[in-house]
């Protein structure tokens, strides 16, 4: 729809949404540059790391307790077997161990993880035993169990010349002829395997929790947080009036462009609206804002790979990856044509500089080259595009001319040879 903002002002084509369309296009580009799955991966990694750290802390706090609980369970099993021995001893009529007693002790020694089972009296004399045992019996410990009447929960011990490790359980066995002690040796490897199996199950459970917690937590809270983060980043990165990128994103995007493959070219264009102050003074700042928005919308003529920025006031910049000065000039010509179609009475001046990535030109130097080109475009009368190569050729010719003038002046003022009239 065509409209006139001022009776004496220039006419231009614009939409009622102003910079909203540009903001939508900028948001679409940001979604391409920062796809949601990247945020989800970071979110999932954060959830996974948090759960793993919590599990490690829990493991450190409960690891020792887990071993003690397993020993307690083993002790309960041996206590039940000691009760069975008491029933057998109650039926014994002589001090000589019967086949039933030996069979019961032998059955205990064949239990899972059990390497030895023996029945001892208070003096340390073995009544009956089954299995292989390294090392002797501590009589003082036997007496302690007999006196207290309570089983003794073991710690891992190293016995014998082979350095074999074992858990030694001591349990009181009461009978009519006094209290004996059931000594049971258990292989620590069994306990270690049980602990490892439990930890493996915990790890599997943790993995399952992570697989469930990451997407569920993202759906419940992470997605909303991601939207707010993107909105905040968009607000910080884009110009509020025009909807295109602001100065904040300029350096990072230019750095990425200069980090492209060595054979690629990168062009930087700086753009000023000609006599913009006069436009503001004559038609008002509201009209000036519409001119800025119109120029931002004219950047739709850029390639999909190009980036436009409002650097401040009426100063704009365009980064053109994979473009030399000739290609950048062609692209900027399309922008100029789009602006002329929208606002025929408003013109722009453009300065372009292009470098090869392999030349390793710094950002500041590329900016200064483009700025020099823009200054030359203004000096030549505005409403045109000047490339840095043109400026450089002009400087070279000027230097050459100055050298020629200096040489001519030196020849003119040279003294004549001696002896001439």
Does 367 fall in a domain? Answer: yes
Number of domains comprising the chain: 2
HSE-CB for 255 with a 13 A CA cutoff = 5
Which residues have C-beta within 8 Å of that of residue 8, sequence separation ≥ 6?
Answer: 282, 283
In the structure encoding, which two tokens stand for residue 318, read together? 């365009």
User: Are 404 and 269 in a shared domain?
Assistant: yes
Q: Where are the alpha helices (DSSP H) in 302-415?
A: 325-342, 363-379, 388-412
Residue of 297, 62, 82 whose CA lies nearest to 169: 82
Among the options 272, 306, 314, 324, which is catalytic? 314
Alpha-carbon gap, residue 335 to 337, rounded angstroms = 5
Which residues have C-beta within 8 Å of that of residue 43, sequence separation ≥ 6?
Answer: 214, 217, 218, 222, 226
pLDDT of 155 reads: 65
Place of tokens 């999909």: 304
- Label residues 87-121 b or e (16+ Cβ within 10 Å = b): ebbeeeeeeebeeebbebbeebbeeebbbbbbbbb
User: Are 248 and 185 in a shared domain?
Assistant: no
Dump pLDDT digits (tens) for 322-335: 999 999 999 999 99
User: Are 359 and 281 in a shared domain?
Assistant: yes
Reduce the DSSP state of residue 351 to 3 states and report it.
strand
Dump pLDDT digits (tens) for 141-200: 889 999 999 998 776 555 544 455 778 899 999 988 889 999 998 887 777 777 777 778
Alpha-carbon gap, residue 99 to 108, rounded angstroms = 14
pLDDT of 6 reads: 38
User: Are 264 and 361 in a shared domain?
Assistant: yes
User: Are 251 and 387 in a shared domain?
Assistant: yes
Reduce the DSSP state of residue 141 to 3 states and report it.
helix
Report the predicted TM-score, pTM, of the whole model to 2 decimal places: 0.52
User: Are 158 and 267 in a shared domain?
Assistant: no
Which residues have C-beta within 8 Å of that of residue 320, sequence separation ≥ 6?
Answer: 266, 267, 268, 269, 302, 303, 305, 306, 327, 328, 331, 354
Alpha-carbon gap, residue 168 to 117, rounded angstroms = 10
Final residue before a domain boundary, out of 190, 210, 229: 190
Alpha-carbon gap, residue 187 to 209, rounded angstroms = 34
Helices 36-90, 188-217: crossing angle, 10 deg rounding: 150
Residue of 259, 260, 371, 362 whose CA lies nearest to 311: 371
26 CB neighbour count, 10 Å cutoff: 22
Does 216 fall in a domain? Answer: no
- Catalytic, 314? Answer yes
User: Are 394 and 283 in a shared domain?
Assistant: yes
pLDDT of 402 reads: 52
pLDDT tens, residue order, the chain (421 aa): 333 333 344 444 544 454 445 555 555 555 555 666 677 777 778 878 887 887 777 776 666 677 777 788 888 889 999 999 888 888 876 667 888 888 999 999 988 888 899 999 888 889 899 988 877 788 888 899 999 999 987 765 555 444 557 788 999 999 888 899 999 988 877 777 777 777 787 778 878 877 777 777 767 766 666 667 666 666 678 888 998 999 888 998 999 999 888 788 999 999 999 999 998 888 898 999 999 999 999 999 999 999 999 999 999 999 999 999 999 999 999 999 999 999 998 999 999 999 998 888 889 999 999 999 999 999 999 999 999 998 887 555 545 555 555 555 555 555 455 554 4
Q: Kindly report the CA angle at 81 between 156 and 145, in degrees rounded to 5?
A: 55
User: Are 393 and 321 in a shared domain?
Assistant: yes
- E strands, 274-344, where? 307-312, 315-321
Q: Where are the alpha helices (DSSP H) in 34-109?
A: 36-90, 99-109
Does 82 fall in a domain? Answer: no
User: Are 179 and 246 in a shared domain?
Assistant: no
User: Are 153 and 274 in a shared domain?
Assistant: no
In the structure encoding, which two tokens stand for residue 55, read together? 């599990």
Does 37 fall in a domain? Answer: no
Does 87 fall in a domain? Answer: no
- Contact between 286 and 269 under an 8 Å Cβ cutoff? The reply is no
In the structure encoding, which two tokens stand for residue 370, read together? 């483009």
Does 332 fall in a domain? Answer: yes
Final residue before a domain boundary, out of 165, 190, 215: 190
- Label residues 323-348 b or e (16+ Cβ within 10 Å = b): bbbebbbebbeebbebbeebbeebbb
Does 195 fall in a domain? Answer: no
User: Are 256 and 337 in a shared domain?
Assistant: yes
Final residue before a domain boundary, out of 150, 165, 190: 190
CATH number for 118: 3.30.450.20
Q: Are strands 178-186 and 315-321 parallel, antiparallel or unpaired?
A: unpaired
300 CB neighbour count, 10 Å cutoff: 13
In the structure encoding, which two tokens stand for residue 389, read together? 């190569």
CATH number for 302: 3.30.70.270
Which residues have C-beta within 8 Å of that of residue 354, sequence separation ≥ 6?
Answer: 265, 266, 267, 268, 320, 323, 324, 325, 328, 387, 388
Torsion of CA 355, 360, 366, 369, to 10 degrees: -70
Alpha-carbon gap, residue 52 to 36, rounded angstroms = 24
Does 149 fall in a domain? Answer: yes
Alpha-carbon gap, residue 152 to 403, rounded angstroms = 106
Query: Which residues span the domain enclosing 266?
Result: 241-410
């Amino acid at each position: 729809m065509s409209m006139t903002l001022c009776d004496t002002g220039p006419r231009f084509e614009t939409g009622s949404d102003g910079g909203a369309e540009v903001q939508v296009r900028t948001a679409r580009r940001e979604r391409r540059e920062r796809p949601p799955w990247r945020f989800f991966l970071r979110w999932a990694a954060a959830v996974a790391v948090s759960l793993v750290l919590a599990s490690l802390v829990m493991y450190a706090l409960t690891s020792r307790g887990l071993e003690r609980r397993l020993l307690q369970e083993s002790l309960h099993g041996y206590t039940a077997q000691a009760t069975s021995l008491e029933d057998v001893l109650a039926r014994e009529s002589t001090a000589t161990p019967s086949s039933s007693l030996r069979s019961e002790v032998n059955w205990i020694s064949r239990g899972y993880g059990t390497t030895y089972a023996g029945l001892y009296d208070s003096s340390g004399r073995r009544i009956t035993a089954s299995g292989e045992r390294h090392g002797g019996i501590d009589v003082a410990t036997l007496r302690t169990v007999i006196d207290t009447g309570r089983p003794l929960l073991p710690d891992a011990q190293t016995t014998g010349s082979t350095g074999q490790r074992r858990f030694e359980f001591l349990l009181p066995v009461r009978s009519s002829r006094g209290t004996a002690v059931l000594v049971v040796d258990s292989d620590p490897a069994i306990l270690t395997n049980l602990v490892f199996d439990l930890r493996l199950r915990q790890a599997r459970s943790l993995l399952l929790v992570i697989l469930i917690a990451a997407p569920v937590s993202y759906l419940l809270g992470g997605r909303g947080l991601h939207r707010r983060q993107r909105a905040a980043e968009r607000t910080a990165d884009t110009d509020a009036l025009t909807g295109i990128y602001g100065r904040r994103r300029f350096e990072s995007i230019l750095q990425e462009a200069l980090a492209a493959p060595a054979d690629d070219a990168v062009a930087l264009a700086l753009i000023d609206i000609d006599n913009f102050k006069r436009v503001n003074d004559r038609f008002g700042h509201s009209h000036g804002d519409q001119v800025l928005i119109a120029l931002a919308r004219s950047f739709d003529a850029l390639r999909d790979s190009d980036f436009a920025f409002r650097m401040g006031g009426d100063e704009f910049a365009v980064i053109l990856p994979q473009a030399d000065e000739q290609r950048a000039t062609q692209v900027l010509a399309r922008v100029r044509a789009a602006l002329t179609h929208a606002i025929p009475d408003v013109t722009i001046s453009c300065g372009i500089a292009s470098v090869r990535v392999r030349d390793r030109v710094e950002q500041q130097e590329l900016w200064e080259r483009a700025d020099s080109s823009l200054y030359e475009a203004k000096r030549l009368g505005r409403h045109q595009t000047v490339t840095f190569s043109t400026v450089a050729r002009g400087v070279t010719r000027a230097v050459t001319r100055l050298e020629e003038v200096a040489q001519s002046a030196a020849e003119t003022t040279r003294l004549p040879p001696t002896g001439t009239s």
